[in-house]
């Protein structure tokens, strides 16, 4: 491992080495007023955007493909689309798996810093060498204007109280990261009229704490965010802010505001093959160390996966015998009208199934069954082929339902709706 080969922390490497971000962290524990994560568009490059969310084992399958196709990857990172430590289980499991299989890779994280504290010792143990924390203010009156809320433990804190907790956790995390000799970068978003006059103070404080580099990122208005009405800062203002900050701490000048699923050289868009593989891997069944012997299927006639779960009066149960897919039995589903209990009872009914194959499913049953570690696969196809794919771990991309709505995001440069 050569730590000098990180293209974000070493500008000399930006056109030589690339990175891959594994989008395994969908949840976030704060709401920044400049952020909106409600939709994805393949034509956008900004934090919080991804074409799919992966589980740790799906991420490993995706990473294997990326490293075969893109030969100059030196860094594996986790940067969302939410916050890594609002998803600590998925984040830490992914990092451990990557370190075990690819010991030569630089491991990197980007976080808001609120929840990282309990994991810093383990991050150091598995040699996570680079961590970025987004810190936008060191003055509570300014910071309170940037965040709608901070979720700390089971409490939702707003305005100044929430920011004070966030800042305390950030400063504590920075101090501990430096104690562990972890290279630490601070991202600070330049929000005109909010903190643009305050960033030199941030730079001074970070320099005092031994932070390695500061990245002053120009605010970019996102449709749907609270700050959507604020204009992007002019280049002259950004240059002036960076010049003042550089008097205190080294600056990063080549940031490209990367997506949570970015791959390759900084500034290059993901190719269509990479995006397709990401989507395909997000549909892989979670069958690692799986011992449950069956899959459940919603079908109208017993041949195709063609029924939505809410309409299914029975589920067909399939297993595997001597390498062949066999029908085991049918099970009557709980009657409609039971609310959440209906889906809890269904979870009990198919607790010996590793996956449920349906043509469609609602949010409530999806959530209940996911909590029981039952994979939900929305497919169009022949039952035997899909069941075999589940048991053997094959790709089922050709059967995945394609009912995808456009994001309707308007491209301000083209003046038209997005076709991505």
Judging by beta carbons within 10 Å of its beta carbon (0-12, 13-18, 19+), is residue 38 exposed, middle or buried? exposed
- Does the residue 286 lie in any domain? no
Could you tell me if residue 413 is inside a domain? Answer: no
Strand partners, 130: 108, 183
pLDDT at 70: 86
User: What pLDDT is stored for residue 277 in this prediction?
Assistant: 87
Closest to 2 (Cα-Cα) out of 132, 104, 111, 122: 104
Q: pTM here? A: 0.69
Alpha carbon 335 to chain centroid, angstroms: 36
Count other Cβ atoms within 10 Å, centred on residue 386. 25
Q: Are residues 45 and 133 in the same domain?
A: yes
Residue 207's nearest CA partner among 231, 185, 239 is 185
Which of 58, 129, 123, 133 lies closest to 92 in space, CA to CA? 123
Does 134 lie in the same domain as 38?
A: yes
Pick out the chain residues at pLDDT < 50. 39-44, 398, 402-420
> Would you state the structure tokens that stand for residue 118, as one six-digit string?
């309990």
What range defines the domain where residue 24 resides?
Answer: 3-281
Q: Return the closest-CA partner of residue 317 out of 331, 333, 305, 334.
A: 331
Q: How many domains does the chain have?
A: 2
Residue 406 within a domain = no
The answer on 217 and 74 residing in a single domain is yes
Are 274 and 336 found together in one domain? no
Spatial CA neighbour of 274 closest among 55, 46, 68: 68
Examine residue 353 and state whether it is found in any structural domain, yes or no. yes
- Burial class of residue 161, CB neighbours in 10 A (0-12, 13-18, 19+): middle
* Residue 299 shares a structural domain with residue 238: no
pLDDT of 6: 81
- Residues 207-246 have pLDDT tens digits of 999 999 999 999 888 877 888 888 899 999 999 999 999 9
- What is the DSSP-derived secondary structure letter of residue 379? B
203/303 same-domain check: no
DSSP one-letter code for 310: G
Specify the pLDDT at position 410.
42
Residues 226 and 306 reside in one and the same domain: no
pLDDT confidence of residue 3? 65
Percent helix, percent strand, percent coil in the chain, to nearest 5: 35, 25, 45
Give per-residue pLDDT as tens, 327-360: 999 999 999 988 899 999 999 999 999 899 999 9
What CATH number did the domain enclosing 385 receive?
A: 3.30.420.130
Cβ contact 130:185 at 8 Å: yes
Q: Which pLDDT value is given to residue 254?
A: 83
- The reply to whether 126 falls in a domain is yes
**pLDDT score, position 315:** 97
């Amino acid at each position: 491992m050569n730590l000098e080969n990180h293209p974000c922390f070493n500008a000399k490497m930006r056109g030589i080495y690339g990175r891959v971000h594994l989008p395994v962290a969908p949840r976030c524990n704060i709401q920044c007023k400049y952020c909106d994560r409600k939709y994805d568009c393949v034509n956008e490059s900004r934090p919080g955007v991804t074409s799919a969310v992966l589980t740790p084992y799906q991420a490993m399958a995706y990473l294997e493909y990326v490293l075969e196709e893109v030969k100059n990857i030196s860094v594996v990172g986790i940067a969302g689309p939410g916050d890594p430590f609002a998803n600590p289980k998925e984040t830490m499991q992914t990092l451990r798996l990557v370190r075990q299989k690819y010991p030569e890779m630089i491991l990197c994280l980007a976080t808001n810093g609120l929840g990282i504290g309990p994991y810093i010792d383990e991050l150091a143990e598995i040699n996570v060498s680079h961590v970025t924390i987004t810190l936008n203010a060191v003055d509570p009156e300014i910071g309170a204007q940037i965040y709608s809320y901070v979720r700390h433990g089971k409490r939702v804190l707003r305005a100044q109280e929430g920011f004070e907790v966030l800042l305390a956790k950030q400063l504590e995390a920075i101090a501990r990261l430096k104690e562990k000799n972890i290279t630490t970068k601070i991202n600070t978003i330049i929000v005109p009229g909010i903190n643009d006059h305050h960033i030199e103070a941030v730079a001074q404080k970070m320099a005092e704490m031994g932070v390695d580099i500061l990245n002053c990122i120009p605010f970019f208005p996102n449709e749907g965010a609270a700050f959507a009405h604020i204009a992007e800062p002019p280049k002259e203002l950004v240059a002036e802010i960076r010049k003042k900050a550089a008097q205190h701490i080294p600056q990063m000048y080549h940031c490209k505001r990367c997506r949570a699923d970015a791959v390759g050289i900084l500034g290059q868009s993901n190719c269509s093959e990479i995006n397709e593989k990401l989507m395909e891997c997000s549909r892989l069944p979670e069958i690692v160390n799986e011992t449950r012997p069956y899959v459940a299927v919603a079908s109208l006639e017993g041949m195709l996966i063609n029924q939505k779960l809410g309409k299914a009066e029975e589920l067909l149960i399939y297993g595997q015998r001597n390498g062949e897919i066999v029908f085991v039995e049918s099970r009557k589903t709980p009657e409609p009208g039971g609310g959440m209990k209906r889906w809890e009872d269904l979870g009990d009914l198919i607790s010996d199934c590793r996956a449920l194959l349906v043509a469609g499913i609602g949010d409530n049953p999806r959530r209940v069954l996911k909590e029981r570690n039952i994979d939900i696969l929305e497919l169009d196809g022949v039952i035997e082929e899909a069941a075999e794919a589940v048991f053997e771990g094959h790709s089922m991309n050709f059967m995945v339902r394609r009912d995808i709505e456009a994001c309707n995001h308007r491209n301000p440069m083209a003046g038209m709706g997005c076709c991505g």
